[in-house]
Amino acid sequence: MFSKTCEHAIKAIIFVTKQTLEGKRASLKTIAFGIESPEAYTAKILQLLVKNEFIFSIKGAAGGFETDLNKMKKLSLMRVVEVFDGDSIANRCVLGLKTCSSRNPCPFHDKYAPVRARLVCILENTSIMDLALGLIAGKTSLKE
């Protein structure tokens, strides 16, 4: 559903939020280990998260990544997904037609569109903070 890049990004931002909640600054190494993603690739993705102001970075020794917790309460999963995968989840035709529309629907549109709409709704109403809190509570995991 999501690209690998987007998957790594989601896990990374949740992980950094968790660390910030715990009062720890997260280094690249810690993050890559914590979300089981390749270090160099994760570095690239973290840079994009920084550029989009989802997280911020502190350079130099004892540097790393942190989040603004209030921001994470308001930031929806959908916003993150949009940055990495565009609006394809919400708008792309599931059979690859150039445009998805009920005016020229593909054979699966009518059955698919409602499920997709439900998913988009959930993505929009789930905050990064929500996800980080489940992680801290030990109810969910970013590994294995």
Partner DNA sequence: GTTAAATCGGACAAAAATATCCGATTTAAT
Partner DNA sequence: ATTAAATCGGATATTTTTGTCCGATTTAAC
Closest to 100 measured CA to CA, from 86, 115, 114, 90 = 90
Spatial distance between the Cα atoms of 79 and 9, rounded to a whole number of angstroms = 12
CA distance 135 to 38: 21
The partner in contact with residue 100, picked from ligand FES, DNA, a copy of itself, none with C-beta cut-offs of 5 to 8 angstroms by kind, is: ligand FES
Q: Does 124 bind a copy of itself (CB under 8 A)?
A: no
| 43 contributes a contact to DNA by CB under 7 A | yes
Give residues with Cβ within 8 angstroms of 89, minimum separation 6: 1, 2, 81, 116, 119, 120, 123
Q: Does 19 contact DNA by CB under 7 A? A: no
Binding mask 39-78 for ligand FES (x = CB under 6 A): ----------------------------------------
- Any residues with CB less than 8 A from the CB of 52 and at least 6 apart, and which? 83
CA distance 89 to 138: 29
What's the min distance (Å) between Cβ of 112 and a copy of itself? 8
Residue in 3, 65, 79, 74 with CA at minimum distance from that of residue 34 = 65
- For the bound state, the minimum distance from the C-beta of residue 137 to DNA, rounded and expressed in Å, comes to 26
Per CB under 8 A, does 142 bind a copy of itself?
yes
Q: Is residue 83 near a copy of itself by the rule CB under 8 A?
A: no
Shorter beta-carbon distance to DNA: residue 50 or 115: 50
CB of 96 to ligand FES, least distance (A): 8
Q: Which residues bind ligand FES (CB under 6 A)?
A: 93-95, 97, 100, 105-106, 109, 112-113
